Structure 1
Amino acid sequence: MQLRRCRSASAALGLLLTGLLSQGAASEDRPELSLPLACQPHKTCFIQNYVDIDPGRSAKDYMCGRATYEKHSGVDFRLLSAAATTPPVAVLASADGTVKAVRDGVADVFFKKAKPQDVAGRECGNGVILDHGGGWETQYCHMRQGSVRVAKDQAVKRGDQLGDAGFSGMADFAQVHISVRHDGKIIDPFLPDAAEGKCDPNARGPGMWQPAAAAAFPYKNGEMIGAAFAGAPPTVEALEINDRDVVPLTASSPAIILYGRFINLMKGDLVRFVASGPGSEIFDENAAPLERDKATYVAFAGKRRLGDAWPAGHYSGRVELIRDRGVIATNLVSFDLPGAPGPAATGSEKSGSEKSGASGQEAR
C-alpha cells in the first residue's frame, strides 16, 4: 500500500512538472504583439471592449471591470466613426506569421441596421487568421470590404498591412477586433497566464503586448472620446456614422450646446459641463448620474438664445467625467465665433437656460 502511495505521488508530481513545463514552453514560444491598427491611441482610436474572461453568464474584463460583454472573445480597437475609415486606416499584423485563412466580400453595414441572418456564420466580417507557430494564432475581424491584401499561406512580418479597418460582420462601430488563441483556446493578451475565469484588479504587466503597445493603452473602464460645442445636440447613431457631422454653432443658433462623447460608463457616473463666452460664464451644470452602465453615450448641456445673436468672440468649454466624486477624464474645447451681420444683442446675457440633458444608448 505504501509503495502504491509513492507511485501515485510520483505520478502526480510528474503530471505537475509536465504541466509546468508545458506552460513554460507555451510562454516561451508565444508571440509578442504590437498594435493591430495604424492610429493614434486615445486620439483616433480607443479600446471599446476587452475579452470577457467570465465563463458564466455575467461579463468581466481582465481587471475585474465591465468594459466588455458576455462571451466577447477579443479586444476591439475602435475608430471615432465610419467616416474615419476614409482615408483608409491600416490593419497590421501584430506578429510574424503565416496566413491561415482569409475572407473578403462582406459589406460594411452596422449590425443594428442589418438582419441577423445577413451575418450568420460571418460574424467576423472580412478578416484574416495568422498562424504564429506553437499552436498560437491571431484573428483580425471587421475589415473593410475589398481591403484584404494577403492570401492563404503567405508569410507576413510584424507590421505588414493585412487590410483596412471597417465595420463588416457583427459590428456597430468602425474597428478591428483581434482575438488570440492557443491550441484553439481564447487567450486574453492582457492577462495570458490567468487561471480560467480569474481577473486581477492589480494587473500591471504588458501581458503578450510589446511594452510600448501596452503603455499606449493603459486599462480604462470609462473614457471620453470627444467633446465640442455645437448648435444642436448630436446623437450616438449620428456620431458613429460621422464624428464630424454635427450642427455647427453660429451666431444665430437657437442654443449653444456643449457635448461629450463617452465609452464604457458605469452606473452612478455623472458629467459636468462648464462653458464661458465673451465676458461671462454661460453655464456650469451637471447631468444626472447614470442609472445603468452605458457602452456608448452622449451627454450635453445647453442654453437657449433669447437675443438676436450670440456675441462674437472666444468661447471655451470643459467637460468632466466624474466617478465616485473624482474626475477621471477631462476635455477642454474652444472656438472663436465671428459676428453676425447687422445689430447683435448680448445673447449670452439675455438667454434663458436649458436644463442639462443627456441622450445615448448602449452599443451592445
Structure 2
Amino acid sequence: MKRHFYEDDHHAYRDTVREFLSREVEPHYERWESERLIDRSAWLAAGKSGILGLAVPEQYGGSDVVDYRFRCVAIEEVARSATTSFGSGINTQDDIVLPYITHLGTVEQKQRWLPGMAAGELIGAIAMTEPGTGSDLQGIKTTAVRSDDDWVLNGQKTFITNGIHSDVVIVVARTDPNAGSKGISLFVVERDMPGFSRGRKLHKVGLAGQDTAELVFEDVRVPAANLLGTEGAGFVHLMENLPLERMSIAVSAVASARASYEWTRDYVFERKAFGRPIGDFQNTRFALAEMLTEIEVTQSHVDRCVLALNAGELNAVDAAKAKWWASELQKRVIDTCVQLHGGYGFMMEYPIGRAFVDSRIQTIYGGTTEIMKEIIGRDIASQFA
C-alpha cells in the first residue's frame, strides 16, 4: 500500500538525514555502544546539519519548522541505520526538553538556552522519575523551598536520559507539600550549579550508547528566574506535553518494527535451509504476512495521529492508544524477526540483535502500557459517570 504521508520537502530532508547518519554517526556507533556514551561532537554535527531543533523559532537559532513529519523522517532513518542510542538522545532533546522551553519559557529563558540547544552546544534532559516513584508523578519527593530570590532544591532522580551529558535539566519538584498535584513546579537546573551532581551512569539492557544517569540535588540554589512556567502548575505542564512525548515513542516503535521486518524479509530470501530459501517455507511467509499487515495498519493510525498533532488536535487519550499499541507491536515484530534469523538473530553484530535489546524499554518509558490502558479506560468510564 502506497503511503500518502510525505511531500517533496520531506523526501529531500530524508536525503539530508541519511547522509548525516552515514557520515557522522554510523562509523563511530559501535565504539559509542562499547563506551556507553555518544561523543558530544555528534551533537554539534547534528546541529550544523539541521537535525536538531527544527521547531525552535528562527530568532532563537532554529528552523521554525513545526511540521512533525520532518521529525518522523529523522526517526525512521535512525531506525533504518540501527543507531537507536543516538536517536533516543535526540528524541529527548527535540520532542521533550525543547517544547517545554519553547512553550513555557520567558523571552530571557529562550534567549539563554534555545540557541545553544538548537546548535548541539547544550544538551537537555528532563528529570521526572525518582528511585521510589515511576509512573506516579504525583508521588515525587524532590522538594524546592523558596529562599529569598532562589529556590533550594533537594532530591534524587533516576533513569534520566542524557543525564551524563546534560547542560540544561528540567527538574520536577514539589513546591507545596500540602497541595497535591497543584504543588508541583518545574525548574531548570544548569550544569555546574553547586550541589548538582551526577550519580551512576546506568548500565542498561539496551540503548547502550545513550547515556542514562542518576542525578542528585543537594541544597542546589536555583534562581527564581529558572522557574519554568507557572509555580504550582508543573503537573499541568507535564500533562500538556506528554502527548508529544508519547507520539515520539509511537513513531519510533513503528519505524523500528518496519526496519526490522525489512532486514528479516531480505534475510530469509538470502538464507537457505534444506536446499531452498527460508522464505519459501509457508511458516516464514505467514510470519512475513502477519508482520507486514500489522505494521501497515499501525502505520496508518500513527500517521493520522501525527497529522492531528500538527493540527493541534491530538489529545492525551489518542496519544496513549498510539503509544501502547505501537510499542507492543514493536516487541512482537522484533521477537518474530529474531526467531526467523535463527542463531544470527542473537548476535549483536546483526542489526536485529541491537533492535531486540533496544526495543524492550519502549513499553515502559513515557508511561507503561498499563498506564496507557488506564488513561484510555478512565476516558471510557467517564462517559458513564
TM-score by length of 1: 0.24
More helix by share: 2
More strand by share: 1
TM-score by length of 2: 0.23
Query: Which of the pair has more CA radius of gyration?
Result: 1
